[in-house]
Structure 1
Amino acid sequence: MISGELYDPNDDELLKLRLEARLLTEKLNQTSVSDADKRIEIIKSLFGSTGHSIHIESPFNCDYGVNLHVGENFYANFGCVILDVTAVRIGDNCFLGPQVGIYTATHPIDPIRRNNGLEYGKPVSIGHNCWIGGHATINPGVTLGNNVVVASGAVVTKSFGDNVVIGGNPARVIKEI
């Protein structure tokens, strides 16, 4: 699964890992915002790696958690969903607006293979100092460079380099920074 090969999501080990992530996200989403230390402890036990400063508004959902790697000074606003069947790497000083979706999970285009229930993943990488606006969608296999701003509602279907503002569906460069 992590290497991008076809896999069966109903594998016993994967079911167990997803249940563990669901229980931790449930715990996070039920922990009071007044208990910041407990929330950080839960996030750090859920994610593969984090920086010291991390803040996630509830609700937050992910598939496995262990495939999520975020840098220093990470912020995710309300309703963030990250499907991390393979690696999601987010650099330092990155901010996600409300209801941002980052997806590594995908399915075969061939309907026979897809209907057999097999899936695969493509990693997502987001550089340092990025801001992803509300309701933006980052699709499987996308890499964003440093200092990228993604406009609200954008659907990012391909990779972009450093220092750009992107937006639209599909996303395109709006301007260089």
Structure 2
Amino acid sequence: MRFGVYVGPRSVLGAGVHFSHPTSVVIGDRLVLGERCRLYQQVTLAGAPEGEKAFPRLGNDVVVYPGAKVIGEGRVGNNVVIGANAVVNRAFGDNVVLAGVPARIVKRLDAGSESAAT
């Protein structure tokens, strides 16, 4: 744990990952986080217990707002916004805004627009 961020030893973080408010951020073991992602405070990205194959994978240009969780087999495509306190526990494709518990699509983003992470 450094600066309030824990990253599991077998996790892979892409280039340009940004911790906007690096407090109480947990990135569990074996997680894959794409390029140019932005994480806010109290975000948890966690997989299944040791021995199981379920672990999150986030694409490029993903923004994860405060308190959100991506757990188990939660897979998130490119250019996705995950709203505050949302819980993602299943797969979602590209160019969407997710919110709620469990998370659901609340908006579709234009694939040609600028990245969600900017």
Q: Are 2:107 and 1:162 aligned?
A: no
Please say which structure displays the higher CA radius of gyration: 1
Helix, strand or coil at the partner of 2:15: coil
Alpha-carbon separation, structure 1, partners of 2:32 and 2:28: 12
**Residue in structure 2 matching 1:131, options 63, 69, 77:** 63
Aligned to 2:40: 97
Per the TM alignment, residue 61 of structure 1 is displaced from its structure 2 partner at its CA by 2.1
Q: In 1, are the aligned partners of 2:64 and 2:83 still within 8 Å (CA)?
A: yes
Per the TM alignment, residue 155 of structure 1 is displaced from its structure 2 partner at its CA by 0.6
Q: In 1, are the aligned partners of 2:67 and 2:86 still within 8 Å (CA)?
A: yes
Identity of aligned residues (%): 30
Q: Are 2:12 and 1:80 aligned?
A: no
Structure 1, gaps ≥5 residues long: 1-24, 30-57, 107-117
Q: In 2, are the aligned partners of 1:164 and 1:176 still within 8 Å (CA)?
A: yes
Kindly provide the CA deviation profile for residues 67-109 of structure 1, in whole angstroms up to 9, marking residues without a partner as x: 111111111232101221xx21111110011010011133xxx
Task: Give the aligned length.
Answer: 107
More helix by share: 1
TM-score using structure 2 length: 0.83
Structure 2, gaps ≥5 residues long: 110-118
Aligned to 2:79: 147
Alpha-carbon separation, structure 1, partners of 2:78 and 2:86: 18
Q: In 1, are the aligned partners of 2:27 and 2:45 still within 8 Å (CA)?
A: yes
Helix, strand or coil at the partner of 2:105: strand
